[in-house]
Structure 1
Amino acid sequence: MAQLPTVRQWLRATSRRAGPWQRLTVLAGTLSTLLLLVQAWAIATVAQRMVLDQAPLNTVLLPLALLPLAFAGRGLLAWLKTRAGARAGIAVRQSIRRELLERLAHLGPLWAQRQHSATLGNRIWDQVDALQSYHADFRPQTLLCATIPLVILAVVFPLNWAAGVILMVTGPLIPLNMIMVGFGARGRQEAQFVEMSRMSRHFLDTLRGLPTLKLFGISRRHADTVYEASENFRQRTMRVLRLAFLSSTALEFFSSVSIAILALYIGFSYLGQFHFGTWGHGIDLFTGLFLLILAPEFYQPLRDLGVHYHAKAEAEAAAEDLIPMLERPVAERQGAEPWQVPEALALRLHQVTGRYAGQRSPALKALDMTIEAGERLAVIGPSGSGKSTLLNILMGFMRLEEGALLARGDDGEETDIARLAPEQWQRSIAWVGQRPVILSGTLADNLRLADIEASEEALHEALNQADLGDWVARLPNGLATTLGDRGQPVSGGQARRIALARAFLRDAPLLLLDEPTASLDRDSEARVLAALERLCRGRTVIMLTHRLALLQLADRVLMLDQGRAVALDTLEALRTSGGPLATDTTREANHVRAFS
């Protein structure tokens, strides 16, 4: 297994995703320092010539003209530096967030279901956002700390070597203070992220279970648990902020003391107490004023770095949690074969065995069967019998532990699904589940999940096939009507038929159904059944159900129990004397419901 990168290696690598923006930030900061030299020269020259030399006004026209230009230029460069830094952070965040979502797609829904949704949301949003200040402010500032002080020292040393030595000796005091602060900041930031994740989980669980909590009269008691989690998060946040404020105070103290030492040296030199550091030329008003103007700017990059140092601790804490997910190895299917979606599709399951991660027993054991093209197969069984496992294997979400899943297309050749890329195989599948997802967006957006290039005519045709034509005609904006939050409310039956419309749009040869009529009233169930009858024509269908109405649509019924096939035959054969469903009508219905 490849070794995961360290936090610093990973952050350094992700900074490359900022493109030219970080380089532009550093360039703007460096140019601002060069304009500062012009500004300091102009101020010191005007003071020297007007106060001591008593030179005429025309001798200071050039520095007086350069001074406002330098001020305006530094202001413009400061805006450019801030703007470029923000764009660098945004570019990195967007890239990492896209990679996280792609990695979620690779890991699949089975892995995502084992994670708490609040924790995943915290990673994708809050922890990725925690990288903004690092790439927008801290990292460019570290590069400026390596350039700006060197530029100033290169100008100061030819004028006064003693002043240069003072700057060189006192400058490292600020980074040393930051290093000492950093030891505690990262640990506190990690604790804050853990507490944020805990608070998010509590809050989301409370929202989901609010009706149950109200009915049992314990909603107020559970609110105390959420309050406790939020209070712990507040306390940890205040500890992080307290450390950040204290570190800023220490940085200001060290920089102020360092500037004071330089000012004392210049003052005693003017009084004639110090006679060193001037290269034998003495020290005049121009030199002293020029040095005093540059001194704060020498320490300013280091002070700014200290101000943003908490961003480093915050980014490192976020990286600790993001690296295992982003760098998690994903099993790739080598040498994926070309796959053309056939018009008719048959399946052969050869000794198929599937096991969930961390489970001792297989969820599906040695399933061996053939499903012909155009056949309708119903799958029944009690909870935990392997129905959902079979569906996950067919959808390509779960890799086989043993056996093979083989597809036979129009040419009669069998293809092992394991040798196809998941996206290739999934193009041949249409799926309707018992809890269809309606995204916040227009009706057209929700339908085009199945076919992004579908025309409006195709959308209307799919809606008519799903018995939603009259409903769409009554919508205020037709296909452009917004569904979901702050949009058009959608009932359970309408959501189920929208999912059927997606399946019609998909027009795939393999149709997978997971309890498509569960929890529907009689009218909605009848509409869904009628649409399903149209949808199933000419397709290979595998449906998980316990409803007799759907069982009667099936050509054969597969009964699973504890991961094994216990029966596979037509519904009539299973109901004959001696068959698993050979009981009176009432007991038969109960028996079928028991296998759900």
Structure 2
Amino acid sequence: MDKKKQRSLAQWLKGQSKLGKTWLMTAIGLAFLSGLFLVAQAALLANILHELIIEHTDKADLWLSFVGLAVFVCLRAVCSWGKEQAGYRAGEAVRLHIRHLIMDKLETLGPATIQGKPAGTWASLVLEQVEEMQDFFARYLPQMAIAVLIPFVILIVVFPLNWAAGLIFLVTAPLVPFFMALVGMGAADANRRNFKALQRLSGHFYDRLRGLSTIRLFDQAEAESKHLRVASEDFRKRTMEVLRLAFLSSAVLEFFTALSIAVTAVYFGFSYIGELNFGHYGIGITLFIGVFVLVLAPEFYQPLRDLGTYYHAKAQAIGAAESIVNFLDSTPEHQSSGDAKIASDVITLEATDLEVLSPDGAVLAGPLSFSIQAGQKVALVGQSGAGKTSLINALLGFLPYRGSLKMNDIELNSADLSHWRKQVSWVGQNPQLFHGTIRDNICLSSTLTSDADMHTMAKAAYADEFISKLENGYDHHVGDRAAGLSVGQAQRIAVARALLQNGKFWVLDEPTASLDAASEKLVMASLSQATKDATTLLITHRIDQLGESDQILVMDKGKLVQQGTFDTLKDVGVFAEMIHAVDRSDLDA
């Protein structure tokens, strides 16, 4: 990664920190206050030693100094605790914001792009890589200010007492950040390589974990184990490279810090035995001055050492930010849209010489020419791989296209895609229910919903009959992927959700594919009622569900090979072959 790219990513990270600005300022303020308490603590300690050793003052006469010393120690501890808490809150606020940016981008890109990468890759992007930015916002950014403020305060109090000690501090201080930057130059690249290895490993492992039963079925466990070992070994090497740089950086910083403190100690030692006679202002070097400066010496370099330690966090954050920024800045071709609002009363659709393209420009389906009138119920049929899913992704604005695709006479490329998608009610073959209550899942697509509306739609979807029997009713807890519910129950909740959205264009993608006969009957009855006045596109392999369709579109190998009513198509072409195939399977059964 070149330096220009690193600077760009660092600026992006600092720009995100504005969301946690209040917490960052609180952390810096508490650290500065702790620095002031440190100076007071060092002065009290030096004064106590001076009084006891030089002035031979009785310890009882110094009780107030001892109490003050204890108070300042406690205050510094409180400030340190508060600084850590404020830093954590700053990092938390920024991480939540970045995750929202990623999730919003994923929502905009849609399933066509998401399915192009392993699920583990997205999980790594949203979870691990965002999490690796925590120390940058919580520690590194506050420490940049602290590394300037605390040494500056110490220099202010040391120079009036002894200019030589102050000069040693001033000359040696730049060595720490200089060598920190020198050692850390390759850290960002090492972290970037580490995160890419982590993405590969996460994607590989997560996908194999999901397909574990299939791997065992085909006796491929041994081969997949070897692939995982190779990916794990690559990740181990990348991680050790990062750790090696981190330990090297720490060792260099400790060396130069210890050397600087040693020079200060040697100066005072030779001054006390009379070998050096400079640095003071004519009043000599007292024990108070020597102890005070030597107590402050490690604390002068400590913020710089901490900055060096957290510099690794900066390199880590830059390495993590590269993939995130590239993802957020990506502008796929299919995201071209305008401001035109597609009217939400009725939906008509017209495609002329439509070619559906992949994100990289390959033709997935087409050319296709067809029209769907307002209120029509149109069935889209074809064997697996015929191009049905590609066409649906184009209709929803998730894939680019050539030719013309108009909704209510508005070209989809010039329409407001967000506004258009709000008019689409979707019911798929695998209902997606999320962690939460049944109420949360039904109301997911609607922000302003009364309980009466929710109950009405649940009854219309025949979901109320089983929800009312649950112990907690609509507050019944649902696990991820509809855990705790049958497929039929989950599907009816998905139908209720779609009903509540009240879209004017319905897309039904094999809505009864996984249902038993009883659940299928209930779901189809509710969908027929819901789509009575809406434009509907039904994707199905079920020939028996096509009788009520106003029009049937038959696709084969990416082409629209037939279109018409059931009666006109049932005896000719690909559609007739599909009917005969169904009849043969029924006879075999």
TM-score relative to the length of structure 2: 0.91
- Alignment identity in percent? 38
AA aligned to 2:321 is A
What does 1:189-588 correspond to in 2, within 5 Å? 189-329=191-331, 336-338=339-341, 341-342=344-345, 344-361=346-363, 363-365=365-367, 367-407=368-408, 414-485=409-480, 489-575=484-570, 581=575, 586=580
CA distance in 2, matches of 1:435, 1:464: 21
AA aligned to 1:395 is L
Counterpart of 1:132?
Answer: 134
CA distance in 2, matches of 1:403, 1:380: 22
Post-superposition shift, 1:107? 2.2
**How has the CA–CA distance of structure 1 residues 330 and 232 changed in structure 2, closer, same or farther, with 3 Å as cutoff?**
closer
CA distance in 2, matches of 1:427, 1:584: 34
CA-to-aligned-CA distance 1:350-398 (integer Å, 9 cap, x gap): 4433311224435232x33332222111112344433222212222323
CA distance in 2, matches of 1:585, 1:193: 51
2:117 to 115, 118, 121: 115
CA distance in 1, matches of 2:180, 2:397: 50
**How has the CA–CA distance of structure 1 residues 11 and 560 changed in structure 2, closer, same or farther, with 3 Å as cutoff?**
same
CA-to-aligned-CA distance 1:480-530 (integer Å, 9 cap, x gap): 112235985223333332222222222222111112222444444333333
Counterpart of 1:411?
Answer: none
CA distance in 2, matches of 1:574, 1:119: 45
* Alignment check: 8 A CA contact 1:45 1:60 kept: no
Post-superposition shift, 1:8? 2.0
* Alignment check: 8 A CA contact 1:482 1:488 kept: no
* Alignment check: 8 A CA contact 1:349 1:405 kept: yes
CA distance in 2, matches of 1:268, 1:463: 88
Figure out how many residues of one structure are paired with residues of the other and give that number: 581
Q: Which moved more, 1:424-433 or 1:382-391?
A: 382-391
Q: Which moved more, 1:331-340 or 1:304-313?
A: 331-340
* Alignment check: 8 A CA contact 1:481 1:487 kept: no
AA aligned to 2:397 is G
Counterpart of 2:169?
Answer: 167
Post-superposition shift, 1:58? 9.3
Post-superposition shift, 1:590? 6.8
Post-superposition shift, 1:154? 1.9
Post-superposition shift, 1:126? 0.5
TM-score relative to the length of structure 1: 0.90
Q: What's the secondary structure of 1:363's corresponding residue?
A: strand
Post-superposition shift, 1:129? 0.5
Structure 1 regions of 5+ residues with no counterpart?
408-413
Post-superposition shift, 1:242? 4.1
Q: Which moved more, 1:238-247 or 1:101-110?
A: 238-247
Counterpart of 1:69?
Answer: 71
Post-superposition shift, 1:262? 0.8
CA distance in 2, matches of 1:275, 1:386: 90
Q: Which moved more, 1:202-211 or 1:48-57?
A: 48-57
1:148 to 140, 147, 150: 150
What does 1:171-190 correspond to in 2, within 5 Å? 171-190=173-192
* Alignment check: 8 A CA contact 1:582 1:588 kept: no
Post-superposition shift, 1:567? 2.2
AA aligned to 1:341 is S
Post-superposition shift, 1:418? 3.6
AA aligned to 1:566 is V
AA aligned to 2:556 is D
CA-to-aligned-CA distance 1:334-365 (integer Å, 9 cap, x gap): 762455521x3333334433311224435232
CA distance in 2, matches of 1:427, 1:168: 63
Q: Which moved more, 1:430-439 or 1:130-139?
A: 430-439
**How has the CA–CA distance of structure 1 residues 347 and 361 changed in structure 2, closer, same or farther, with 3 Å as cutoff?**
closer
Q: What's the secondary structure of 2:215's corresponding residue?
A: helix
CA distance in 2, matches of 1:194, 1:585: 49
* Alignment check: 8 A CA contact 2:356 2:400 kept: yes
